[in-house]
């Protein structure tokens, strides 16, 4: 099957083609596995985002800042579980604690003894009144939207164009609409992004551009009394990284309050990203609900939905007849394994003291990228947030999804494969993704990354030139 994908690479020119051939030579066992599983497991992966052209490497081991593939190739990993592993791979504290937990059981389906200690940590660290645990970001989002609907008695939800909030039907709208389908900037069309989702979802999910207060105002003036929630990432992190314009979030807070709309901050990626807390705290804005996942669990599946007491008290089985009831359940919710990992991550690893070093390493990497871009004349810039960063192939600063779509994402693919060939997983999979520095990365890791980048710059330049001359 990979031969089919190889044809794509011809379009990128001989340098890129040479890189992909090198990749194929280095990863023959991965290719074999891929070809075997492809027909049974669609695309040979268990999450659409894990597939890339021509096929992904299949991993056998991870430790510290490294992973190894089935061919024995070693990589310094800056994907770090799509940003989940700020703790790095198999942190010794986690290994010790989780081994002990496995011996004591990995699934109780009764409340865990540690909950008692966790309530204070979580409510204080993330500044929320009440919370519940789920397993993934998508689940947390689904539940937050249900709560907002229950609280307001309204059904519609506003989301930002180009934002990804997980695989929940109502949120798989305009996550990546194409030109021609997305409608005018002033009134974006809601575009369902997967087959199998009823069209009616488009009537309930309203889309606005990021960083545009007037767009939100227009929607609220027109149909505010039908809107339950506005869901937003305070820093947009699935279109590269896009920072909010000054006072944007504050104005959104004011507007949502005025119209009685529940403001949900999706902090699945932003939490623990720049300090041991939320982006809401950094911007000093209090949303009504917050969803958190990824870094909080040290690599285990766990998420938190938390916020105002008025909303969170709606949750419950409805045992008391006068008590309202919002459904929230899950066999694996707050399982002892994930709870233990979260506890160790928050109390022992991602402490306040850990961040200055991580941010310094990230700035080192940023500087390395900027020097390479300058030296080789590559039209790109770096955007960072805390321990993560991304490159945007453009010389124009991006403020929203449509701006992002105008950047040169095509150059990302040869860059990614060429970095893999040199033993670096430079970031998570996809041009719109981020890299993550973990507590287990060293200065030497960053220096190696930058050194390889110098090499790869030539691949980017050659590919760009080829495209310029031939497309
Ligand atoms: N929201 C955001 C902002 C995310 O980045 C993601 C995952 N990348 C999700 C929600 C979904 O989380 P999960 O993959 O754990 O379901």
pLDDT in tens, 444-454: 999 999 999 99
- Provide the β-strand partners of residue 156: 227
Residues 291, 415, single domain; the answer is no
Residues 344, 373, single domain; the answer is no
CB atoms closer than 10 angstroms to residue 155: 15
Residue nearest to atom 10 of ligand 1 (CA): 165
Number of the ligand 1 atom closest to the C-alpha atom of 301: 15
**Confidence label for 7 from pLDDT (cuts 50, 70 and 90):** confident
Tokens of 358: 């991580």
Residues 96, 82, single domain; the answer is no
DSSP β-ladder status, 227-232 and 262-267: parallel
pLDDT for residue 401 is more than 90: yes
Residue nearest to atom 9 of ligand 1 (CA): 166
pLDDT at residue number 324: 72
From the candidates 212, 266, 288, 308, give the one annotated as an active-site residue: 266
Alpha carbon distance 305, 151 (integer Å): 15
Per the CB < 8 A criterion, the answer to whether 413 and 12 are in contact is: yes
7 burial level (CB within 10 Å; 0-12, 13-18, 19+): exposed
Identify which of 20, 19, 15 has the alpha carbon closest to the alpha carbon of residue 3: 20
Q: Rounded mean pLDDT of the chain?
A: 96
Q: How far is the CA of 135 from the centre of ligand 1 (A)?
A: 11
Beta strands (DSSP E) in 293-416 are 303-307, 381-385, 388-392
- Residue 410's alpha-carbon distances to 38, 333, 393, 413, 421, in angstroms, are 25, 40, 9, 6, 18
**Confidence label for 323 from pLDDT (cuts 50, 70 and 90):** confident
Give the model confidence (pLDDT) of 288-299 as tens digits: 999 999 999 999
Residue 279: HSE in the Cβ half-sphere, 13 Å Cα cutoff:
25
Interval 204-220 mean pLDDT: 98
Alpha carbon distance 147, 326 (integer Å): 7
Interval 239-248 mean pLDDT: 97
Q: At what angle do helices 92-104 and 336-344 cross, to 10 degrees?
A: 150
Residues 318, 447, single domain; the answer is no
Alpha carbon distance 293, 303 (integer Å): 4
Query: Is 29 a catalytic site residue?
Result: no
Give the model confidence (pLDDT) of 329-353 as tens digits: 999 999 999 999 999 999 999 999 9
Q: How far is the CA of 166 from the centre of ligand 1 (A)?
A: 5
Number of the ligand 1 atom closest to the C-alpha atom of 233: 3
Range of the domain at 394: 2-86+353-470
Which uninterrupted H or E stretch holds 32?
helix 28-38
**Confidence label for 216 from pLDDT (cuts 50, 70 and 90):** very high
Q: How far is the CA of 138 from the centre of ligand 1 (A)?
A: 6
Number of the ligand 1 atom closest to the C-alpha atom of 267: 3
CB atoms closer than 10 angstroms to residue 128: 23
Number of the ligand 1 atom closest to the C-alpha atom of 83: 8
Residues 168, 288, single domain; the answer is yes
Tracing tokens 């949750």 back to the chain, one arrives at 315
Residues 101, 203, single domain; the answer is yes
Query: Is 288 a catalytic site residue?
Result: no
Task: Tell me which of 45, 85, 237, 269 to substitute to probe ligand 1's pocket, judged by most ligand atoms within 8 Å of the beta carbon.
Answer: 269
Residue nearest to atom 5 of ligand 1 (CA): 269
Domain count, the chain: 2
CATH number, domain with residue 266: 3.40.640.10
pLDDT at residue number 187: 92
Length of the chain: 471
Number of the ligand 1 atom closest to the C-alpha atom of 294: 15
Residues 167, 314, single domain; the answer is yes
Residues 311, 372, single domain; the answer is no
Tokens of 429: 């999979």
Domain boundary among 303, 329, 349: 349
- Distance in Å from the first CA to the final CA of the chain: 26
Residues 157, 97, single domain; the answer is yes
Residues 140, 81, single domain; the answer is no
DSSP β-ladder status, 227-232 and 289-292: unpaired
147 burial level (CB within 10 Å; 0-12, 13-18, 19+): buried
Interval 383-408 mean pLDDT: 97
DSSP β-ladder status, 303-307 and 130-134: antiparallel
> What residues does ligand 1 touch, defined as CB less than 6 Å away?
82, 136-138, 141, 164-166, 233, 238, 266, 268-269, 293
Buried b (16+ CB within 10 A) or exposed e, 255-268: bbeebebbbbbbbb
**Percent above pLDDT 90 for the chain:** 95
Residue nearest to atom 2 of ligand 1 (CA): 165
CATH number, domain with residue 21: 3.90.1150.10
Number of the ligand 1 atom closest to the C-alpha atom of 138: 16
pLDDT for residue 320 is more than 80: no
Alpha carbon distance 384, 237 (integer Å): 10
Q: How far is the CA of 277 from the centre of ligand 1 (A)?
A: 17
Domain boundary among 303, 324, 349: 349
Residues 334, 458, single domain; the answer is no
pLDDT at residue number 447: 98
Higher pLDDT, 4 or 364: 364
- Residue 465's alpha-carbon distances to 15, 177, 354, 370, 371, in angstroms, are 10, 28, 42, 20, 20
Residue nearest to atom 1 of ligand 1 (CA): 165
Residues 206, 114, single domain; the answer is yes
Residue nearest to atom 7 of ligand 1 (CA): 166
Domain boundary among 316, 349, 382: 349
Residue nearest to atom 12 of ligand 1 (CA): 137
Task: Tell me which of 84, 139, 165, 236 to substitute to probe ligand 1's pocket, judged by most ligand atoms within 8 Å of the beta carbon.
Answer: 165
- Sign for the pseudo-dihedral over CA of 322, 132, 152, 126: positive
Query: Is 294 a catalytic site residue?
Result: yes
Per the CB < 8 A criterion, the answer to whether 140 and 134 are in contact is: yes
From the candidates 294, 337, 400, 452, give the one annotated as an active-site residue: 294
């Amino acid at each position: 099957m990979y031969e089919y994908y190889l044809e794509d690479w011809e379009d990128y020119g001989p340098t890129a083609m040479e890189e992909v051939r090198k990749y194929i030579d280095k990863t023959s066992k991965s290719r074999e596995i891929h070809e075997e599983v492809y027909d049974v497991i669609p695309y040979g992966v268990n999450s659409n985002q894990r597939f890339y052209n021509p096929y992904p490497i299949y991993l056998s081991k991870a430790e510290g800042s490294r992973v190894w593939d089935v061919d024995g190739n070693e990589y310094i990993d800056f994907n770090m579980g799509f940003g989940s592993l700020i703790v790095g791979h198999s942190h010794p504290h986690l290994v010790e604690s989780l081994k002990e937990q496995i011996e004591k059981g990995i699934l109780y389906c009764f409340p865990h003894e540690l909950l008692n200690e966790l309530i204070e940590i979580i409510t204080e660290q993330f500044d929320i009144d009440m919370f519940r645990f789920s397993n993934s970001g998508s689940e947390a989002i689904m539940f937050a939207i249900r709560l907002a609907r229950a609280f307001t008695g309204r059904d519609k939800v506003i989301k930002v164009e180009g934002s990804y909030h997980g695989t929940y039907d109502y949120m798989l709208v305009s996550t990546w609409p194409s030109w021609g389908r997305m409608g005018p900037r002033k009134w974006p069309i809601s575009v369902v992004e997967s087959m199998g989702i009823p069209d009616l979802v488009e009537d309930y999910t309203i889309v606005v551009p990021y960083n545009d207060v007037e767009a939100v105002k227009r929607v609220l003036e027109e149909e505010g009394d039908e809107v339950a929630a506005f869901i937003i990432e305070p820093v947009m992190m699935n279109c590269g990284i896009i920072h909010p314009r000054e006072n944007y979030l504050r104005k959104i807070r004011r507007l949502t309050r005025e119209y009685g709309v529940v403001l949900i901050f999706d902090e699945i990626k932003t939490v623990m990203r720049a300090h041991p807390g939320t982006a809401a705290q950094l911007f000093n804005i209090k949303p009504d609900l917050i969803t958190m996942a990824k870094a909080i669990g040290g690599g285990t599946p766990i998420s938190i939905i938390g916020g105002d007491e008025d909303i969170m008290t709606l949750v419950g089985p409805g045992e008391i007849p006068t008590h309202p009831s919002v459904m929230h359940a899950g066999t694996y919710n707050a399982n002892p394994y994930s709870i233990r990992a979260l506890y160790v991550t928050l109390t022992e690893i991602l402490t306040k003291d850990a961040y200055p070093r991580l941010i310094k390493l990230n700035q080192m990497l940023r500087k390395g990228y900027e020097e390479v871009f300058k030296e080789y004349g590559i039209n790109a810039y770096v955007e960072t947030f805390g321990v993560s960063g991304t490159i945007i192939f453009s010389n124009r600063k991006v403020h929203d999804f449509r701006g992002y779509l105008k950047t040169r994402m095509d150059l990302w693919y040869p860059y990614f494969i060429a970095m893999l060939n040199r033993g670096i997983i430079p970031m998570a999979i996809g041009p719109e993704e981020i890299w993550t520095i973990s507590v287990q990365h060293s200065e030497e890791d960053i220096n190696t990354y930058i050194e390889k980048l110098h090499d790869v710059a030539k691949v980017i330049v050659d590919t760009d030139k080829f495209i310029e001359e031939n497309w």
